[in-house]
Structure 1
């Protein structure tokens, strides 16, 4: 990895607001790709069509559709994969054009085929990007043949037009929009810097003498939320091979950014406690404001200026007239300013030379990205669907669920829409396709439906006004102005799509109004657009009903699954903390486990997002639960940083800290049992001189237990004290068999790096752990046969049968040679 350049760490710049609104510029790149694709596709379609003697409308339609789909469906992050996808697009597209042209005289078969093509799209998506491209181009090719009749004699020439458009779009994209994943990561890092400065700026404003802090604190909270999303995005980008070829360096970058975020969050909480407090004297308040202003304006390559400012804050807090609580909060703020400066300095130092000390373990991704942002309800919904699988025919449920829903809905939508509008029946089918793509719950489908309806109404008003203005331009100039408006509106809509789906709908409808104006009088535009809106609504309604009736996945079920995933992530963190303290040399990633908790909370919040936002002061029980979960996640992240210390513990203290963390993990996993309080034991141990190095971590562990106990009590779980003498059986020994293994090969005598995956006899993954120096540990395995798969960048995957023997609590040792 290379050193972050000055544009990442440099002082504030005027264009930083763009990165603040769009970290990594993913939205802007989407709009730019669509603009280039549309312009090049239309130009190539028109020029090649004229050279081959194809009517201009056909050439524009074939090239334009290819340009539109290239902007949406081809977003690979390497030039090689971009070229592969772009050159593949004409293949299914030309085949579907030929099939549609041959079936044009047989309307019944044509209707059946387009419904089957839409169904196949949701089946082929399981095959990866090329599968999705195949399904989408088959559907769009058939759609083109239904909109514009295509003579079979022109099929060969149209295939050449499609190929020319694909080659032209590829050349333009490689020249003007070449994939640059490393640059995307640097821009996202710059967004982190921008949001960090926004946090400290708002914090300084809240402490200004005579200021009303409420507004500044709300601004600080919003900036902290954006910091969290940005760090999640960076962690997700680090998982891509193109981002970090060195996994140890990636792990260190992850750690330093994690520490900076934790310090920033703690700084915000300290400022919240000081803002508006009457016991803060003027000199102390001024010292805090000056320190925060320095943090905001400093070049991050010279963050050493923060340390003297923090010293001034400490001096004023210790020698001034502030009350004890205000002084303690100010001292905490100074400590966090030092921690923030150190974390940022280490982040910048990373990559200037080879790290002297590699990460304890290589980087392991814990954040999943969807369209460049942290995943929302998708992973939880998929996990819930996978649980519906099983033996026999149930194995096909996760694969066939959505295609079956879409196929049944299409069988209803097509005849109804055909009866309503005849040759414009595809409007209903498009509504079905839209409601089925990218939505996992009924709430998401209804929210997308609302965006579609509102966007269509606004776009219709703007589109009709634009068409009336363009109608005053005569001759060929009218055509060129119309094409310019169409391309501009679609590009702007693509830019805003990931922000709000309604923005894309507005741009699309404005563009379509210009096309409809060719064949529809202005007096009939209102009725035509109302019909389009109604058929879209028909597709949405039938698609939502099919999803609710055929192998349904309820919003409540997805929400509960997301919460379960959050609890499991917390339990794994508690177990990692216990392992870290019991075996200081164990290959654990506490910050990575805490980031997994953070990502799980983000998913739970996305699923729990209400369909209608309630006014302030009317928070529901679900909102209160999410608030407690967010507070618990903050404690978990601070616990991860505080617990990751090298310390020699006495056997008594080591056993006790392992017992306490293990009991917390048990309470998190056993949701039907009483919640066993470990906070008293943790605080008692924090006061023990033998555990002085762990005092901060034990306090955070106690605070985490307090918050989780409140959450458990709000859900009706009884609370029970956990006596310090109560025996606690480790979860791995009580519930399964422990397998310790070692992997060696001739090329790596000190041990191989990679992953070990356990697959049961039904093909389901039961465990996956990282190998460190060729060693791995699998816990909680059940007796019986399974398949052990060893994989890594240095070796092809190797599968071996493993017979797990013994009873609960037993250990088994395994040696493998590659």
Structure 2
């Protein structure tokens, strides 16, 4: 008996261990959609390690930039030449790791990576040739940095050329104490080695994995679906917790992000599950997201309702089964709940509204179980078949609502570009192409950082210039640039502390130093999207190790790096604030207009479906358009919301602005969900519904136009009472039927958009009165 009990306990413990491991693995997958961060970090570190090895071999056999002699000074100079050669190759592969994913076609990507060392070589030659003419050399560096901004106009090609020219010029300053233009042949060879390793890494590590992106993203989607269900269980356990409700909503937003990323990859001709088309996989993902969002929404309502313990237990068990990704138990519990609700003694204890919500919850979890089972049955082709190129017939190609940039959603780049080009009520000069604005700002900031950095240190001023350069990279507007500059300084300070400690521990042990560099680089790149401070910290640790190997390390040197970084970041921040600023409020207004336009289209199409009796069908495209616009708005407001310290305003936009837009998006998703079960609304009520919808669309248009004007006298007219009138005239008034839920959702959307209008300081009127609702 004791032996049997011990076996049982052992089995239980092993099961719990496996469950814990699976749970943490799912969290890991969910935190990194498509393992994009992990793949980039691994590729960069492997490439850097490879190029260091190849460059070391090149140094051992070719002895580039080395001089003859047995003195300690000659040995130190030769060691520095070897280290700098490795650094040149590492710079090529690091830039290539970020540039490669920007090209959608393999051929273009390979050509772009081949162009990078060429551009860097031109920059190196300019830096070496002008090292004795300091003023001209500094002017060239300013032009190179500003040119990187102007070259943004040409997308990935401009990025490669701009990065190459500036980083090459930066490297030329570094190499100036080792050689002059007579050594450019050796430098060209070292850059070519870096380019060859970068291309090999793309061919071996990056491009084959592009075909399996959908498979990885689908895993991330399911992991985030588990997180939504877990957050919903938390809401059921703690119905009064605002933190639990907020966490549940955040998980839903992240789930939507994964779904959009899958859609974007489906449009890029990826490998799909055997026997499945891109359109079918999109429908599965859309149905799964909608069903789970419905179940989570209904569970939130059930959490605060008065229901029997037996019913509440089944609701919770269903969501727990969703967390465990077990479609059979989910389906079984959903059906058991539905049968329980049909029993007279149970239904008698529940009011009609809650009873309908419970039925809808059961239907939603059953629908989720069915689509989850369908997804689980899908199998992808073997690896060798998957990486083999193939063509998809034109009629089977999938058209997505969004395209990825470097493997991620575009964020605020599109709305920032629109805001930059638009004429506003401020000044004609502020209406510029984004590349022109960036080029001017980067040139001004470079001039400031060069002058200020040179006053601090004539030998280390380029750290200030580098800090200015990276502050502008990957940032689209003033708020993003200010935040990145702050993270650059914070990360550098932390990197100085950790770098000094590691420098003392490692000393001049070359293998250990390389290991420290690779580990810190991996962590910095992997955590960079969480906070840029991690990447800045890792680069500072790398620099500390580099100077240890060059026998130039000192505490004063690291202090100088902090000071120069602070100067460079401050120059960038001051420039984006005072020179042709693209302010957050301006970008958010553009993002809000695009969101409202997508919202109006969704409402119109949904009501059209309700009028025709087709419910929520045919709404995938407009739903995804709204999701894309919402994600852009979320990204545009993210820096300001993150930096918000006290209640009030952020970036010129009231806090309630984001809350109202967030609510409108949630209500719109509820509308799509409720429309699925809605029967047709026809006759006089249908005609009134059309009038109410037209009134809402007109009001949203007024709001959109008002947001486009610097000062507006336009008015948002409420339409909620028109939808309420339709609801009262229907024969199901007083009951929580699908038709009534749809009409309630429309009223809530009107309320959210009216709140947004108030937050934007736009007058709001009731539909049947001239009295302003302020």
What's the TM-score, normalizing by structure 2?
0.80
SS at match of 1:718: strand
In the alignment, is the contact (CA less than 8 A) between 2:487 and 2:532 conserved in 1? Answer: yes
Which residue number in structure 1 is paired with residue 669 of structure 2? Answer: 637
Structure 1 position 718 matched with structure 2 position 764: yes
In the alignment, is the contact (CA less than 8 A) between 1:303 and 1:344 conserved in 2? Answer: no
Once the two structures are TM-superposed, the CA of residue 397 in structure 1 deviates from its matched residue by 4.3
Q: d(CA) in 2 for partners of 1:231 and 1:494?
A: 24
Structure 1 position 603 matched with structure 2 position 603: no
Q: d(CA) in 2 for partners of 1:84 and 1:282?
A: 65
Instruction: Write the deviation string for residues 565-599 of structure 1: whole angstroms up to 9, x where unpaired.
Output: 22222122234345556789999953322232233
Once the two structures are TM-superposed, the CA of residue 33 in structure 1 deviates from its matched residue by 1.4
Instruction: Write the deviation string for residues 622-672 of structure 1: whole angstroms up to 9, x where unpaired.
Output: 333322322221221232345479987757566444332222111001125
Q: 2:454 is matched with which residue: 407, 411, 418?
A: 418
Which residue number in structure 2 is paired with residue 685 of structure 1? Answer: 726
Q: 2:496 is matched with which residue: 460, 469, 475?
A: 460
Which residue number in structure 1 is paired with residue 530 of structure 2? Answer: 499
Q: Which moved more, 1:193-202 or 1:344-353?
A: 344-353
Which residue number in structure 1 is paired with residue 505 of structure 2? Answer: 469
Q: 1:287 is matched with which residue: 289, 293, 314?
A: 314
Structure 1 position 92 matched with structure 2 position 138: no
Structure 1 position 330 matched with structure 2 position 355: no
Cα 1:535–1:182 shift into 2, 3 Å: same
Q: d(CA) in 1 for partners of 2:231 and 2:448?
A: 55
Which residue number in structure 2 is paired with residue 781 of structure 1? Answer: none
Once the two structures are TM-superposed, the CA of residue 500 in structure 1 deviates from its matched residue by 0.9
Structure 1 position 704 matched with structure 2 position 704: no
Cα 1:642–1:328 shift into 2, 3 Å: closer
Which residue number in structure 2 is paired with residue 574 of structure 1? Answer: 603
In the alignment, is the contact (CA less than 8 A) between 2:229 and 2:320 conserved in 1? Answer: yes
In the alignment, is the contact (CA less than 8 A) between 2:481 and 2:576 conserved in 1? Answer: no
In the alignment, is the contact (CA less than 8 A) between 2:335 and 2:366 conserved in 1? Answer: no
Cα 1:410–1:558 shift into 2, 3 Å: same
Instruction: Write the deviation string for residues 523-556 of structure 1: whole angstroms up to 9, x where unpaired.
Output: x41x222222222222222222222333221122
Once the two structures are TM-superposed, the CA of residue 465 in structure 1 deviates from its matched residue by 0.8
Instruction: Write the deviation string for residues 29-87 of structure 1: whole angstroms up to 9, x where unpaired.
Output: 11111102211222222222333331423421322221222223222566544433332
Which structure: greater helix fraction? 2
Q: 1:40 is matched with which residue: 43, 50, 53?
A: 50
Cα 1:315–1:236 shift into 2, 3 Å: same
Which residue number in structure 2 is paired with residue 483 of structure 1? Answer: 514
Which residue number in structure 1 is paired with residue 409 of structure 2? Answer: 374
Q: d(CA) in 2 for partners of 1:436 and 1:317?
A: 66
Which residue number in structure 2 is paired with residue 735 of structure 1? Answer: none
Cα 1:589–1:112 shift into 2, 3 Å: farther
Cα 1:699–1:265 shift into 2, 3 Å: same
Once the two structures are TM-superposed, the CA of residue 462 in structure 1 deviates from its matched residue by 0.9
Q: 2:98 is matched with which residue: 72, 78, 100?
A: 72
Q: d(CA) in 2 for partners of 1:441 and 1:94?
A: 31
Which residue number in structure 2 is paired with residue 628 of structure 1? Answer: 660
RMSD: 4.0
Unaligned runs of 5+ in 2: 1-20, 67-81, 382-392, 704-712, 770-774
Q: Which moved more, 1:387-396 or 1:84-93?
A: 387-396
1:654-693 alignment, distance < 5 Å: 655-671=687-703, 672-686=713-727, 687-688=729-730
Cα 1:274–1:658 shift into 2, 3 Å: closer
Structure 1 position 450 matched with structure 2 position 479: no
Cα 1:452–1:168 shift into 2, 3 Å: closer
What's the TM-score, normalizing by structure 1?
0.76
SS at match of 2:717: strand
Cα 1:234–1:143 shift into 2, 3 Å: same
Instruction: Write the deviation string for residues 122-153 of structure 1: whole angstroms up to 9, x where unpaired.
Output: 12222121221111111111111111223333
Q: d(CA) in 1 for partners of 2:396 and 2:511?
A: 59
Cα 1:52–1:25 shift into 2, 3 Å: same
Instruction: Write the deviation string for residues 439-494 of structure 1: whole angstroms up to 9, x where unpaired.
Output: 233332222222122211111111111111122x6xxxx12222222222122211
Greater relative contact order, per chain length (Cα 8 Å cut-off, separation 6+): 2
Structure 1 position 15 matched with structure 2 position 61: no
Which residue number in structure 1 is paired with residue 547 of structure 2? Answer: 516
Which residue number in structure 1 is paired with residue 468 of structure 2? Answer: 432
Q: Which moved more, 1:194-203 or 1:39-48?
A: 194-203
Cα 1:611–1:423 shift into 2, 3 Å: farther
Residue-pair matches, total: 699
Structure 1 position 400 matched with structure 2 position 410: no
Cα 1:212–1:442 shift into 2, 3 Å: closer
Q: Which moved more, 1:259-268 or 1:558-567?
A: 259-268
Q: d(CA) in 2 for partners of 1:264 and 1:616?
A: 35
Q: d(CA) in 2 for partners of 1:486 and 1:12?
A: 31
Once the two structures are TM-superposed, the CA of residue 374 in structure 1 deviates from its matched residue by 3.0
Once the two structures are TM-superposed, the CA of residue 293 in structure 1 deviates from its matched residue by 2.8
Structure 1 position 590 matched with structure 2 position 635: no
Q: d(CA) in 2 for partners of 1:469 and 1:283?
A: 61
Q: Which moved more, 1:268-277 or 1:448-457?
A: 268-277
Cα 1:293–1:394 shift into 2, 3 Å: closer
Which residue number in structure 2 is paired with residue 768 of structure 1? Answer: none
Q: 1:319 is matched with which residue: 346, 353, 366?
A: 346
Which residue number in structure 2 is paired with residue 167 of structure 1? Answer: 196
1:330-349 alignment, distance < 5 Å: 330-344=358-372
Which residue number in structure 2 is paired with residue 556 of structure 1? Answer: 585
Once the two structures are TM-superposed, the CA of residue 114 in structure 1 deviates from its matched residue by 1.6
Q: 1:124 is matched with which residue: 151, 154, 171?
A: 151
Q: d(CA) in 2 for partners of 1:588 and 1:211?
A: 32
SS at match of 1:675: strand
Structure 1 position 29 matched with structure 2 position 44: no
Once the two structures are TM-superposed, the CA of residue 371 in structure 1 deviates from its matched residue by 4.1
In the alignment, is the contact (CA less than 8 A) between 1:432 and 1:539 conserved in 2? Answer: yes
SS at match of 1:74: helix
Instruction: Write the deviation string for residues 78-117 of structure 1: whole angstroms up to 9, x where unpaired.
Output: 6544433332222222232233333233222221112111
